[in-house]
Structures are given as structure tokens and as C-alpha cells.
Structure 1
Amino acid sequence: MAKAASKKAKNTLGEKTGKQLIRRLTAKPITKQMDTFSSGDTVNVYVKVKEGEKERTQVYKGVVIKIQGSGSAKAFTVRKISSGVGVERTFPFRSPLVERVEKLSTGKVRRAKLYYLRDLDGKSARIESELVTASAATSAKTSAKTTEA
């Protein structure tokens, strides 16, 4: 009986190691509709919220204060002021709860991590920005497609 217990479980997926399985899972491309954004940009994040049996989409609007990680572990943090209280929420890029991310304006910042915004109140917490119009976003997408072809 001791010999039977010492046998390793056979891998039914045909993979040699766990690393190869992880590589295969993380190699899948992201198929979500996401605008490219960076720290300082104001974004709308469309998040799926489940309430009982119903599922609805909730919009979370705020400033991107950091983008961290790489590959499948890449995530971004959005900060907003709700009822006078600062609220930060981190979203993984590959999360099934995030439907899409829409960029509203481009922030003019010189830092990758905007942690200093946590200490600022009122008008001093604002970031100088340029508005992103819908026509500009579509023209950028079409110009990217023409350069690929």
C-alpha cells in the first residue's frame, strides 16, 4: 500500500510542467475593447456588478494613478472622490468583470505613479488635461490600422 500512495498523479492535460501550462494560458491575447491609457488619464471603467440574480454594468469614473505588473498580472488603479472621500480601486486588465475602459481625457503628468494625489484636496488635486473627442479616438484607431497594413 505504501508504494501506491507514493506514485505521482498523472498529468491528464499532456503538459510536462506547470510553467508550460501557465505560459499557454497567459499567451492568449486580450480581446476586450480598451482604449490605450496611461497614468494621469481620466477614464470610465465599465464593471459588471452582480446583484442577486441580476447583472448590470456600473461605470467607475476616475483618474488612473498607476499601472503595474506585466503580462497577465497587469493591473491599473483608478482614484475618484465620492462624497468627499477618496476611493481607489484596482482592476486587472484580464478581469472578466471589466467590460471595457473608455478614455475621457489625457492628463499632463510627469510621473508614472501619482501617489501624491492622495495628499491633495480640492482644486489642487486636479490634473491639467486635454479632452479626448470621439472623432479623435476613431481617427487614431483608423490611422493605426493603416500603418499595420
Structure 2
Amino acid sequence: RVGDSVELRMVSQGGLKAEKQELEKIRGVVLGIVKRGLGSSLILRDVVYGLPIERRIPFYSPMIKEAKILERNFIFKGKKKVKRSKLYYFRDRN
């Protein structure tokens, strides 16, 4: 859901048919979900070394090996419900 903190494990390099697949952990807050059938994706935001990074990750990508919800309602620390479908205003906050 939007506002949750999630962790994804994805194949980072070499593709799916490589002999040795290296998995990469991606953590972030879900800013929005784009619903377009098989083209559905989510927008993740994280701060790495002081730089904000946003990634658009397809739901049905074969590169995703595992998805885990770390914390629900991460933005409001679980105190109140997120009432927006897209949290683009979160980009301007620190």
C-alpha cells in the first residue's frame, strides 16, 4: 500500500539466465502505485548517501525475487492512515 516501507530483492546484473545471479536489496517508501494491467508498477523512494532516489519498479517483473513489507504506514509512524493515492508531496519533505 501507499505509505508503507518495503524491501525488494531483485536480480541486479547478468539477467535471469546468468550462471550466478546477484540479488540486490532495495528498500524504500511506496510513493504511488500505477495500475495499468500487466504494466502496473510502484514508485519507491529512498535516500542513499544523502541523495534521494526514486525508482519505478514493475509489479510483474521476473527480476523481482522477493517482496517484504517492513512497516505499515511508515510515513505517519502508524498513527494515522494515509489518505492519498500518490504521495508526491513527500518529495519536498526532508
Coarse TM-score class (shorter-chain normalised)? 0.7 to 0.9
Aligned AA (1:65): L
> How many residues are paired up?
84
**TM-score of the pair, normalised by structure 1:** 0.53
| RMSD over aligned Cα atoms | 1.5
Higher strand share: 2
Separation in 2, partners of 1:88, 1:117 = 12
Unaligned 5+ segments in structure 1 are 1-37, 122-149
Runs of 4+ residues deviating >6 angstroms: none
Number of the residue aligned with 1:138: none
Q: 2:40 aligned to 60, 74, 92, which one? A: 74
Deviations 1:94-113 (A, max 9, x none): 11111121001111321110
The structure showing larger relative contact order (alpha-carbon pairs under 8 Å, at least 6 residues apart) is: 2
- Asked which structure has the greater CA Rg, the reply is 1
Aligned AA (2:49): S
In the TM superposition, residue 53 of structure 1 has moved relative to its aligned partner by: 6.1
**TM-score of the pair, normalised by structure 2:** 0.81
Residue 112 of structure 1 aligns to a residue in which SS? coil
Separation in 2, partners of 1:83, 1:109 = 27
Aligned AA (1:114): L
Higher helix share: 1
| Identity in percent | 33
Number of the residue aligned with 2:56: 90
